[in-house]
Amino acid sequence: MAGQGPILRSVESTTETDTNGLTRAEVAERVASGKTNAFSADTSRSAWSIVRANVFTLFNGIVFACFLVLFLVGRWQDALFGLAAFANAIIGCVQEFRAKSALDRLALMNAPRALVLREGVQAEVAPGEVVLDDVLILRAGEQVPADARILTSHGLQIDESMLTGESDPVEKQPGDDALSGAVVVGGEGTAQATRVGADSYANRFAGEAKRFSLVSSELRASVDRVLKWVSWVIGPVGLLVLNAQIIVGGGYATVFSSGAWVQAVVNTIAALTAMIPLGLVLMTSIAFAVGASRLARRQVLVNELPAVEGLARVDVVCLDKTGTLTVGEIGFDVAHPLAGSTTELSGTAAAVLSWFAASPDANATARSMATAYPVTQPLVVRGYVPFSSARKWSAVTFAEIPGTWVMGAPEMVFGDVATSDATELGRTVTTLAETGRRTLVLGRSETPLSETDIESEQLPSELTAVLVLTFREQVRPDAAQTLEYFTRQEVGIRIISGDNPRTVAAIAREVGLDVAEGYDARRLPEGDAELADVLDRHSVFGRVTPEQKKRMVTALQSHGHTVAMTGDGVNDALAIKAADIGIAMNSGSPATKAVARLVLLDGQFSHLPDVVAEGRQVIANIERVSMLFLNKTVYATLLAIMFGVLVLEFPFLPRQLSITDGLTIGIPAFFLALMPNAARYVPGFLRRSLSFAIPSGVVVALGLTWYTFVARGLGVQEEQLRTGATVILAVVGIWILAVLARPLNRFKVIVVGAMFVLLIAVFTIPLARAFFVLVDPGEDLAIALTGITIVMVAAIEVVRLLHRRLVLSPKKGSTTRVGARPSTATTPPARVVAGIITTVVVVLAYAFGVLATGFGILVFLGRYDPDVSTSAFSLAGAAIALFGLLVLAVAAGIRRGSGLSRLMLTIFLGVAIALNAVVIVFGERWDWGAAVTVLVAATLITLMWSPPVARGFGRIRESSMGAARP
């Protein structure tokens, strides 16, 4: 490193140049050779690289190319999908610019000035203008601008806790090292700069911490993996679809001469854009942003949006003691009188303690007694030996009080007697020290301090111990309850500190952890595997260096743990950077806050449970809506492949897919992603999502292919075929939405119902019908698509049932489901009868749902009048189909004995009865379908509210609906 030569000079050989500082020529020479303290470490991500990474991606290229092609061929109506790509790029750029901005603000060196000695004259310079070998003048309140070797010291005390984790100020002697970034808290002295710029201790942290890295996010990683998979197939599939569309249009020669190639290109673009789950990326970003906004209201700053989900996945939390569990300050505990003392605490000793607490050179420990022992009457000092961290005691003789009073470390004042079990002092000190509290002793001698005692700094003779004083670090009041929360959530706790292991263990016990003793980090093994084993067996560690903190985090990660690290000092920065989720206190250093993913602005440790809850909501809800988006990706990919292989014209226009994308996936997904959800995180997000999305996507693709062959067999026009396909996809999409929204509550019913109403509006308002090219499919096609829709709805229900049973079901030995019925072996006959009737109700509910959905579609399409936008029969049929789907959705709640499900089912059935009555009354002929539907609905209502069955339902407010997994 630069400057190694001058560092090797001993203090005794300090030259006159050292004493007077550098000359101007020497300073200029070092500036010319680059040996200055100037330091600037940019992040590895430039603004251009962020834009390039978020805008110039493969998928944005595909989407924007499709977007541009449609504009060039004059089909802007089909280019609505491009808006999602624009939104994704903007959100991604904003997110990473925020992270870059936080990193660029990193500044370990906050000192506004530095004092140096040059040519024997003090000079004030900027910290960056300090050069190698400069003589630094250090005074209380100043920050050390560069690594230095102490030349002179007059009670010089430096606080290096932010760098090393040691909570006690260190008294520096000539020859000792001082670290850049440390703060002088007492005395004064001079030092010679030994390492400057990037070589200094603090700036080595800065360089390491400022390396750009995105927070680990399972959601983002899973979505990226899906996008990567799609990227492998989108090119070949696109060529396959384009070839099929050209052949369907009459062949290459015909389509290019007639202009039919435009429709072939539009159909191909419709197939390709449907394969890309752009909405899922957008929805994930929105969920993160909303979560971050909610946390901001709780005084939690989110530096990077995916960190919102991070703590929901964390299974080990590493805590720094000083500044995290404690407030970083020493507090007076209590005074323990010794039996042999003849001095009363309320008298002379109290006055002496008040003087020690208020003395001009009192350290932090002594000052902490000021509240308990305020000065009531000033004392006149006759002789005084000031405190020294080397001696660890101070002594004073007063004019008003006879004798000499000594306060200091017991073993330094009384030697072995202070640790011997044979003396009361020894027993008291040992017992108190084992609790982790710091101990001082107040002693008294009848002999006043002599000039010799003061000059030689020696203790007076015949000292007697009067009091043992205990001090403890002030524990944050919310620490215990927060750790208890993590313990309940089965999250492991590791307390990591630079302090004495015994002290750390005592603090750990104080906040509720069951630990016998701390592990001395000086005994940690060098091998990473052995280190990970030690971390699995122990939970409290002391004497940990900053480099060891980082090693400990990575060792835990090597054993499959997701690790959160909290801290406030520079010494925590590397570990916080290496952790999956770094959490900083706002009182901490700028370095720590800049590299942390989360910052607790008010320093309240108790906000962490809020962060966990927010993260769980994001993960659980995004998992739910991801099934919607991935289902579309699966069926779109399969449709593209099958229609390409079978040489069929693609059954949708891009704008028609925008209907189903927006109203059955995009808009409802936005609401579902922001709903409360307290489900605990379980690894395997992508596996669970795909295990539903793939089979349900296969059902949709096969159903639409089946429909296409039926429609071609009926000889319908292309616009009729597309309208029927859009109806099928819309109804099945609403059903998939309702299935994934289970268990339904009032809010979810409103969301599902509103989407269905909007779909009906699209199919009935003339302007919307014209824009989306929707026509009357005809009676034969209406009957065919109704039957196919019912089969697809039933198949989706089977897929979800198997998905819940095989993938989402709890492990063996878990608690019984809410609403589960007890064994009939010990159940009274009346309850057995009620159970049988309840089963009949559930079966009838499913039957009614299928019947009402099919009948509603037939009424809607069979009486479709393109010249009348508000046909009563069309609207009544659509409403019947909607409530049929809702009945299907809540039937599962009846099986669980949900009171809310019974209430909602009763309402849905009542509305369905009224709607079918409209069809019967205003129809030209008697409608048996409507009559059967009314009869089944009335039977269901009667059975549900009959006394034997009614007793089996829980109260509405006790419904289990809020606790289920996605």
Q: Name the one residue in this structure whose structure tokens are 């189903």.
A: 660
Nearest CA to 939 out of 836, 845, 830 is that of 845
CA distance 648 to 476: 69
Please check whether residue 705 is in contact with residue 649, taking contact to mean a CB–CB distance below 8 angstroms: no
768 contact partners, CB below 8 Å, separation of at least 6: 761, 762, 774
Q: Where are the alpha helices (DSSP H) in 298-423?
A: 307-313, 350-358, 364-367, 410-414
CA atoms within 13 A on the CB side of 906: 13
Q: Name the one residue in this structure whose structure tokens are 């000792």.
A: 176
Q: How many CB atoms lie within 10 A of CB 117?
A: 20
Q: Three-state SS across 845-879?
A: HHHHHHHHHHHHHHHHHHCCCCCCCCCHHHHHHHH
767 contact partners, CB below 8 Å, separation of at least 6: none
Active-site residue, from 320, 453, 568, 572: 320
494: enclosing H helix or E strand: strand 492-496
Six token digits for residue 215: 């927070």
Pairing of strands 464-475, 438-445: antiparallel
CA distance 117 to 130: 11
CA distance 966 to 960: 13
**SS3 (DSSP) at 782:** helix
Which CA distances in Å does 935 have to 701, 904, 928, 943? Answer: 35, 19, 10, 12
CA distance 915 to 769: 24
Q: Name the one residue in this structure whose structure tokens are 């409209």.
A: 918
Please check whether residue 41 is in contact with residue 206, taking contact to mean a CB–CB distance below 8 angstroms: yes
Angle value at C-alpha 920, between 915 and 926, nearest 5 degrees = 150
Q: How many CB atoms lie within 10 A of CB 923?
A: 14
Which CA distances in Å does 695 have to 631, 689, 700, 755, 801? Answer: 8, 11, 9, 24, 12
> Contacts from 51-58 at CB under 8 Å and sequence distance 24+?
51/93, 53/92, 53/96, 54/88, 54/89, 54/92, 54/93, 54/96, 55/89, 55/93, 58/231
> Known catalytic residue: 320?
yes
CA distance 359 to 381: 11
Question: Which residues participate in catalysis according to the annotation?
Answer: 320
